């Protein structure tokens, strides 16, 4: 249900990466997009811990399985299901949804041009239809220098990297304390013969959390971890709401009919 978005190669959503250069992309422009087609069939979006307080109001927050756990916001409970965005990648009518920073960052990213490079360079996905040598749109460079828009994009990506480092530290601490466990949720729709069981994600073990020593809990309260953990735990109550939306939109596979005795 919520495996790591992409274990190797390019990050989720990215088809290619190219460093942004005034020499090569001096005539490139950015045009506004009213849809995100790459989101149409994406059910799990990577999150940073700084987003937990906002995300918990809209979607469940879980952790991916595997050695390198990643916080994920669930926009659906099944692969290919997204209850907030339609098949064209537009936000469904009437929705008031928080769009995670990982989505808003695309098609830009800070990346190392070489494995041994210390500095990160601003890159972009050249397959995106929002950046290119267009006649319309906002310029990326003027007189060979980055425009204010590029400076804003760079700042956003730098802030995202810092948030990512905080997220990694948060996940490591959860692991060191042994607080993550395999998750499971059973949802019994009205009239269904049996419940739908969802697995394939990790969550915080409340029993282990409650059994921590007082000094450990105090430290977590002081460094801000405890509120983030509870934001995650509270958000799990949205699982049934996401399931209900998915069921209404036809995104839940029907159960096999049990023949009468």
pLDDT of residue 251 exceeding 90, the answer is no
Whether 70 is in a domain gets the answer: yes
More confident residue, 150 or 252: 150
pLDDT of amino acid 252: 83
pLDDT of amino acid 255: 63
Whether 43 is in a domain gets the answer: yes
User: Residue 26: beta bridge partners?
Assistant: none
Smallest Cα–Cα separation from 111: which of 14, 4, 201, 203? 14
The answer to whether 123 and 20 are in contact (CB under 8 A) is yes
Whether 119 is in a domain gets the answer: yes
> Which residues have C-beta within 8 Å of that of residue 221, sequence separation ≥ 6?
227
More confident residue, 250 or 13: 13
Structure tokens given for 6: 């992409």
Whether 6 is in a domain gets the answer: no
- Provide the pLDDT confidence category of residue 162 given band limits of 50, 70 and 90: very high
Share of the chain above pLDDT 90, in %: 82
Share of the chain above pLDDT 70, in %: 94
- Provide the pLDDT confidence category of residue 31 given band limits of 50, 70 and 90: very high
Q: What is the mean pLDDT of residues 67-76?
A: 94
What distances in angstroms separate CA 19 from CA 25, 87, 139, 247, one per listed residue? Answer: 10, 31, 17, 42
pLDDT of amino acid 1: 54
* pLDDT tens-digit series, residues 95-154: 889 999 999 999 999 998 877 778 899 999 999 999 999 999 999 999 999 999 999 999
Looking at the structure of the chain, the number of domains it has is 1
* pLDDT tens-digit series, residues 203-228: 999 999 999 999 999 999 999 999 99
Whether 90 is in a domain gets the answer: yes
- Provide the pLDDT confidence category of residue 85 given band limits of 50, 70 and 90: very high
Whether 4 is in a domain gets the answer: no
- Rounded CA separation 224/245 (Å): 32
Which residue range is the domain that position 236 belongs to? 18-248
């Amino acid at each position: 249900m919520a495996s790591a978005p992409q274990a190797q190669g390019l990050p989720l959503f990215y088809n290619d990466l190219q460093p942004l250069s005034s020499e090569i992309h001096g005539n490139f422009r950015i045009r506004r997009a009213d849809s995100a087609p790459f989101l149409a069939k994406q059910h799990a979006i990577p999150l940073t811990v700084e987003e937990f307080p906002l995300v918990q109001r809209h979607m469940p927050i879980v952790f991916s399985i595997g050695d390198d756990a990643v916080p994920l916001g669930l926009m659906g409970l099944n692969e290919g299901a997204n209850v907030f965005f339609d098949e064209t990648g537009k936000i469904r009518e009437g929705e008031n949804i928080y769009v995670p920073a990982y989505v808003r960052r695309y098609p830009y990213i800070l990346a190392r041009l070489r494995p041994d490079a210390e500095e990160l360079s601003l890159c972009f996905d050249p397959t995106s239809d929002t950046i290119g040598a267009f006649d319309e749109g906002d310029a990326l460079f003027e007189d060979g220098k980055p425009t204010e828009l590029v400076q804003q994009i760079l700042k956003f990506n730098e802030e995202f990297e810092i948030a990512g480092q905080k997220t990694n530290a948060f996940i490591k601490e959860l692991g060191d304390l042994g607080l993550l466990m395999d998750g499971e949720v059973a949802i019994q729709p009205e009239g269904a013969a049996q419940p739908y069981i969802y697995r394939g994600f990790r969550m915080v073990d409340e029993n282990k959390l409650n059994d921590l020593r007082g000094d450990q809990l105090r430290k977590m309260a002081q460094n801000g971890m405890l509120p983030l953990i509870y934001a995650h735990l509270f958000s799990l109550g949205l699982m049934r709401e996401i399931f209900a939306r998915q069921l209404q939109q036809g995104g839940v596979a029907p159960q096999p009919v049990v023949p009468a005795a």
